[in-house]
Amino acid sequence: MPLMTSKPMFDLAYDGGFAIGAFNVNNMEITQGIVEACASEQSPLILQISKGARKYANMRYLKHIIDAAVEEHPDLPIAIHLDHGDTVELVKTCLNDGFTSVMIDGSHQPYEENVRLTAEVVKVAHQAGVVVEAELGILGGIEEHVVGVKAEDYEKSIEKFLTDPHQAADFWKRTGVDSLAIAIGTSHGAYKFKHEAKLAMGRIEQVMKTCPGLPLVMHGSSSVPREFIDLINKYGGNMPNAMGVPEEQIHTAVTKYGVCKVNIDTDLRLALTAKIREVLATKPAEFDPRNYLGPGREAIVKMVKHKLHVLNCAGKAEAVVKQWKKLGEPLPVFYTKSAKA
């Protein structure tokens, strides 16, 4: 099947007690590891490409890698998503590149500007049959070009940065956005918190009441597994005090509330880096990239399989495919163009 939008996935996830893993990709090994894990667990998935990934890898290469994954696993429901898009021009480029979902992030703009920018993107994307994610509220931490609030400041005054439920309802009504990333106490990067996180579950519940049926998204949701931090530090790294979101809290958010999508990026980087460091440190004569990238890829497979069970989405692929067929979702504009070419 071709790439689909996230709508068939979210239609089932909202009331089904699960969320779709949205995994950031930057190269072949990361993409292969994610897709292999999801195929093994029969899980739908979202492959995210950030502005930084486009700059690093060249979209043409990334798109062909993803096309290869689709060909290798034709029965697996896959969406390709722009992560943290910041301009209408970038969104338009991504639509032409075959994305089936886009995010426009105006969360750091004044509220009215966020509304205006998001509404403009929704109009453009919907004309191409593509869904839109936006963000309301501010997260902590740093990830690529996305700069949030410093961890210590975020933890001290977290309430003022969380998504306002009534503002969320107004935002949804005025923009027509398809899903909304909300601030509930998560944070970007590996150094998310000074102390163990406690997500604002009550705030998710309030947003669900003011925005019934709107799929919610969790950004900054990597758990920063201790095993990877320990390996990195053991073999020459320097990552003291790295701390992520406890997985039991993520599991609660996706099984009891309307969180339909959970972003995971940092954990992928940690898994790959930890294994590469281990191989190069324990086998100093090694120079063949296949012999350290291969173990890194396997670490990603193992980690992603685990995450799919945290998100409760393992085994949901077939149901999503049935929902996609039931909706009769049209092919994205990109595929229509390709067919005519």
| DSSP class of 243 | B
Q: Is this model's pTM higher than 0.85 or not?
A: yes
3-class DSSP state for residue 132? Answer: strand
Instruction: Given the residues 11, 15, 75, 83, select the one marked as catalytic.
Output: 83
Four-residue CA torsion sign, 228, 231, 234, 238 = negative
pLDDT at 147: 44
pLDDT at 1: 65
**Rounded to 5°, angle at Cα 304 from 86 and 287:** 90
3-class DSSP state for residue 188? Answer: strand
305: left (phi over 0), alpha (psi -120 to 50) or beta: alpha
pLDDT at 331: 60
CA distances from 290 to 63, 231, 294, 296 (A): 22, 20, 5, 10
Residues 6+ away with beta carbon under 8 Å from 103:
81, 82, 83, 84, 85, 132, 133, 134, 135, 181
288 is catalytic: no
pLDDT at 83: 94
Residue found under tokens 């998504």: 163
3-class DSSP state for residue 158? Answer: helix
Q: Which two tokens stand for residue 334?
A: 């990109």
Q: How far apart, in whole angstroms, are the C-alpha atoms of residue 341 and residue 332? A: 15
Residues 6+ away with beta carbon under 8 Å from 82:
48, 49, 50, 90, 91, 94, 99, 101, 102, 103
pLDDT at 188: 52
CA distances from 42 to 39, 139, 196, 250, 296 (A): 5, 31, 32, 20, 22
pLDDT along the chain (341 residues), means of 10: 90 96 96 98 96 90 92 94 94 93 94 98 96 87 46 54 93 98 74 65 94 94 90 93 86 94 95 98 97 98 98 97 88 48 40
Q: Which two tokens stand for residue 200?
A: 């604002």
3-class DSSP state for residue 218? Answer: strand
| DSSP class of 195 | S
Domains of the chain in sequence order: 7-340 (3.20.20.70)
